[in-house]
Amino acid sequence: MAFGAESMVAPLRTVLVKPPGPVFARAYDEPAHGFLHPVDLDVARRQHDALCQILVALGVTVHVLEAETESPDLVYVFDPLLVSDQGAIVLRPGKPTRRGEASVLERWAAEHAIPIAGRIHEPATAEGGDTFWLRPGVCCIGRSLRTNAAGAQQLVALVGGDAHVFDLPYHHGPGELIHLLSVISPVAEDAAAVFLPLLPAGLHELLQDEGVDLIPVPDEELPTLGCNILAVRPGVLVVAEGNPVIRRALERRGYEVHAFPATEIGVNGGGGPTCLTRPILRETDRPAG
């Protein structure tokens, strides 16, 4: 399988998803998972299918992870694995209930001939939601309640190239976790949707230096995943329904926006279209693996 996804906006060719299953249906029963209300599995499955249908219609090859663990958060496949041009980097989630997920993703990568470029080792923790590529070879890493200092340091060494680490605020604590990608979503090479009140000052400075157009997400759309946007290619975006302000702001800039219902599959568990997808291959100027 060709691989390499050192971009958040380059044309998305191959992606991995995990449909919600029986464990997801029981997520609310265990408070440690942090779901907001009891899960309607049928609705969650329809919403996940709607996301996949958008991706297929936009020309993306969608691979389905046929696995189930004790973690309902496995549907948020962005977090346990990072895919660089050198191969898969196996992460170590900081959320204790997610610790078994990384081995499942590692097995999937091995079965699909994607080499393992590295692993995050204990006591370090790191989650994919605390990483994004500003451009190929330039990785931004958030030190958060899920990615600790040791994890950030190990990631810097593993991704190589130019890596920047930014501290994220405690905000409302683990119950309303803030990942780096909770406050920024690149939508084109020179533009990003951002939640400015929680954006690290150092990252704001870097984005300004890079000439990135910052499109603000309003306070009321942060809980409904308004800042969690998946770029299928520059300016062609997938968003969660129910965020009209940021959607209008994107469309005014000429972007093509596709929305899917995410109340059950996304808002309930706290993961939007980016979290629900693990890019395997994006078409950049670099040769694919």
Q: Is 1 contained in some domain? A: no
pLDDT score for 286: 63
Instruction: Please state, in angstroms and rounded to a whole number, the distance separating the CA atoms of residues 274 and 279.
Output: 9
Query: What single-letter amino acid sits at 17?
Result: V
Q: What residues have CB less than 8 Å from 89, skipping those under 6 apart? A: 81, 82, 83, 116, 117, 118, 119, 120, 155, 158, 159
Q: Is 193 contained in some domain? A: yes
pTM assigned to the model? 0.96
Q: H/E element holding 81? A: strand 81-84
The CATH number of whichever domain residue 187 belongs to comes to 3.75.10.10
Residue-number span of the structural domain to which 104 is assigned: 12-282
Q: What residues have CB less than 8 Å from 201, skipping those under 6 apart? A: none
The parts of the chain modelled with pLDDT lower than 50 are none
Q: Is 287 contained in some domain? A: no
Q: Is 205 contained in some domain? A: yes
Among 229, 223, 222, which Cα is nearest to 259's? 229
pLDDT score for 176: 80
pLDDT score for 287: 57
Q: Is 288 contained in some domain? A: no
139-185: pLDDT as tens digits: 999 999 999 999 999 999 999 889 999 999 999 888 788 999 999 99
Q: Is 3 contained in some domain? A: no
100-140: pLDDT as tens digits: 999 999 999 999 999 999 999 999 999 999 999 999 999 99
pLDDT score for 174: 85
Q: Is 70 contained in some domain? A: yes
Q: Is 278 contained in some domain? A: yes
- The arrangement of strands across the sheet holding 81-84 comes to 81-84, 87-90, 116-119
In angstroms, the Cα distances linking 55 to 104, 152, 168, 264 are 23, 31, 31, 19
Q: How many domains does the chain have?
A: 1
Query: What single-letter amino acid sits at 55?
Result: L
pLDDT score for 148: 98
